[in-house]
Structures are given as C-alpha cells and as structure tokens.
Amino acid sequence: MSFLLGILIFVLALLFSIMLHETGHFVTAKKFGMKVTQYFVGFGQTLWSTRRGETEYGVKAIPAGGFVKIVGMTELEEVDPADEPRSFRRQPGWQRIIVLAAGSFMHFVLAFVLLFVVAVFIGQANPGASTTVGAVDACVPANLSSTCTASRPPSPAKRVGIRAGDKIVAIAGTPVRNWTQMGQVIRRQPSGKPVAVIVQRGGRQVILHPNLAVVTGRHGSYLGISPNIVFQRSGPLAGVGYAGSQFGQIMAGSAGVVASLPKAIPDLFAKNRSSTPGGNVTSVVGAADATGQVVAAPISWQARVSVVLLIIASLNIFVGAFNLLPLLPLDGGHLAIVIYERCRAWLARLRGKPDPGPVDFRRLVPVSVGVFALLVGFGLLLIMADLVNPVHIIQ
C-alpha cells in the first residue's frame, strides 16, 4: 500500500509540474496579448474540456505531457487575418523568448522551492551528529555492493545483540562522540578478535564483545551498524544557500546524465544496472518506482519526505534543462530559431540591408520529426528497461 501511495504521489507531482510548465507559457503569452486558444494537460483523446473566453481548457487521455496552443507559433500555420496581429510570430523577439523560456523557468522555480522546503522545514540529514545506532546490518556482505543472502554470516553487531537505538559510548576503551570518530576507531581495530563495545541502553550501560569482520573492498574492520540520521533545519538565509548549492549540483548531475546516455544504453538491461551509468538514466516509470520504494522503506518520515522532494526537484531540474536544448520540437529549438532570426536581422541592419525575415520552417520539419522520433524511441526503451530491469535504490 505504501509503495502504491508513493507512485500516486509521484504521478500527482508530475501532473502538477506539467501544469506549471504550461502555465508559464500561458501566463506570459496572455500578458503580451497573444491569442491562446487551448490549455491542455495530456495528449490524445479529450476526456474533459471547458471554454472560458477565447481559451479551451481540458484534460486528455495520455498523461505524458501537456500543451498550450498559441496562435501563429510558426510561419507554416494558417492564421485568420483578424488574429494575425496577436499571433506569436508577429510579436517582438524578446517577448517570444520570454514565452518560450517560461516553461523551463517554472520547473526551476518549483525545484528551488522544494529544495528550500527540505532545508528549512524538513532539515538536512546529518548522520554524524551522534553515535546512536539507527539500524543493524543483518549479515557480513561479501563486498561493498552485495546484499545479504542465506549463506552469509550474521554481522558482528547482530551476533552480539546490538540494537537500533543503542548509543555507543566507547570502543576498545576509546570514548566516541560522533559517528565519524567512531568509524575511525572501528576500522583500526583488529578483525577476528573480541573488541569491547560499551553501549548505553535504557539508562544503563552494557558491555558487548563483538568479533569484528572484514568486507572485501572496505578499508579496516567492520561492525555492521548504520547511523541514526539526525535532521537539522536551517534558517531562511541558509535555506536559500542550500537550495542554490543543491540546484547547481543537480544541474551538473543532469548534464552528466545526458552526456552518459550513449554509454548507458548497453547497460539498461544488465544485471548490475544499478552500479553502471544505466542506473542513473531512468524514465518517469523508473522515477515513480523509486518514489514508491522510498515511501515504503522502513525509514523515518523526515527521510521519506526529503528524498521524495529531492526526486521531484531533480526531475524538474532535468526536464527544465533538457527542454532548453536547441533541438526541435523542444522549446529550446524554438528559442534558438528566434535568437538566430534576431541576430540575422541585426547583422542585416548593420550592412544596410532589409530584415531577411523568419526562418523557413519547411526546411526544419524533417529535423523536427527525426528528433521527435528519436526522443520517443529512447523514452520507450527507458520505460521497457524500468519495467523489466528496475533500479532498486532501497536495498
């Protein structure tokens, strides 16, 4: 039930993001006096619609996007002579640029607000703030990337009875005050020999003697515990700084994901997809699955909410940035054409020549169709991979 709730949360957030994107186009176009005839969420057959003034609002059957119909988006469109003065193509270049960029701008605003909410109202995860145990590993993993199987031995912590909620006071006679210091002390202890671990439990201290283990690929000894994550809230100014910093990191990560697309394709159906570039590339199906995993995970409510908000913020940043790529039929492709037309007109004026006018869209139609087909094909490939070989973010 929790998993399905997570998927529902993601779908609603996705629809809200789509509406916000189209609202950006809609509001700016209306502000500049352009004629907007349709505002729809989804594609395909119309499920519901209503008309207010000159605009039809509605919902279509396939919730895979949305659109705002602005009269005269290209020179190929036939426009009633009475509507021509209000058509998109007849407006100043700077107004058209604002309308085209407004959709991505709304994605960026939503992402920034969500990151601010995480910092100020939920808090940033600080696993090193204390030595309280949050979870005990069930087994000694074969290596850093493997999970527990029936053949693996219990972790040292589980074997001696360390529990979630225990606060570790000292290890091998060394007092420990935070998780980082405690990890350093654990790693330098000899493995295979009893080590005195003092824990505070229920107002009293208990001394336990686990035999620390060794995990392939890990430096030093292994006890098998995870921290009790403390969430520390920030003030408004620090929240703005956190949101800006995270926004930049996610934007850089999104660029890395796009750059890794060619390399990721062969890994989409690999058994170890999670540890390959293919694990970083996912469709909305994969993102919905990840949200469901987080909501269903046995973690604190702060962890659930913060991770879900980070997933939604990351999705909005990626979509906003991807939409600005100079490729038709994306908004970025139309932006590039407007900028090209204005630069060409400016150079013509410098040479004392007339404005060359708009770009001939007929030459660009094959390019637009080819890019659209490529995007649809790759999107279907990602959906297939997420259905048959999903990435498990919660182990």
DSSP state of 117: H
Host H or E run for residue 60: strand 55-70
Nearest to 323 by CA among 12, 15, 18, 31: 18
Nearest to 110 by CA among 170, 32, 22, 207: 22
End-to-end CA distance of the chain: 18
Helices (H), the chain: 2-31, 93-117, 156-160, 179-187, 236-259, 261-264, 284-296, 301-323, 331-350, 365-388
- Look up residue 149 and give its two tokens: 């199987």
54: annotated active-site residue:
no
Long-range contacts of 299-304 (CB under 8 A, 24+ apart): 300/229, 300/231, 302/122, 302/123, 302/125, 302/229, 302/231, 303/125, 303/229, 303/231
- Look up residue 350 and give its two tokens: 């410098």
Let me know: does 125 contact 306? Beta carbons within 8 Å.
yes
- Look up residue 304 and give its two tokens: 């659930």
DSSP state of 37: E
Quote the CA–CA distance of 132 and 126 in Å, as a whole number.
Answer: 12
Quote the CA–CA distance of 179 and 135 in Å, as a whole number.
Answer: 13
List the catalytic residue out of 22, 56, 75, 84.
Answer: 22
CA angle 10, 6, 23 (to 5 degrees): 20
Find out whether the peptide bond into 329 is cis, omega within 30 degrees of 0: yes
**Per DSSP, what are the bridge partners of residue 230?**
126
Let me know: does 39 contact 55? Beta carbons within 8 Å.
yes
DSSP state of 194: B
Helices (H), 215-300: 236-259, 261-264, 284-296
Mind telling me the catalytic residues? 22
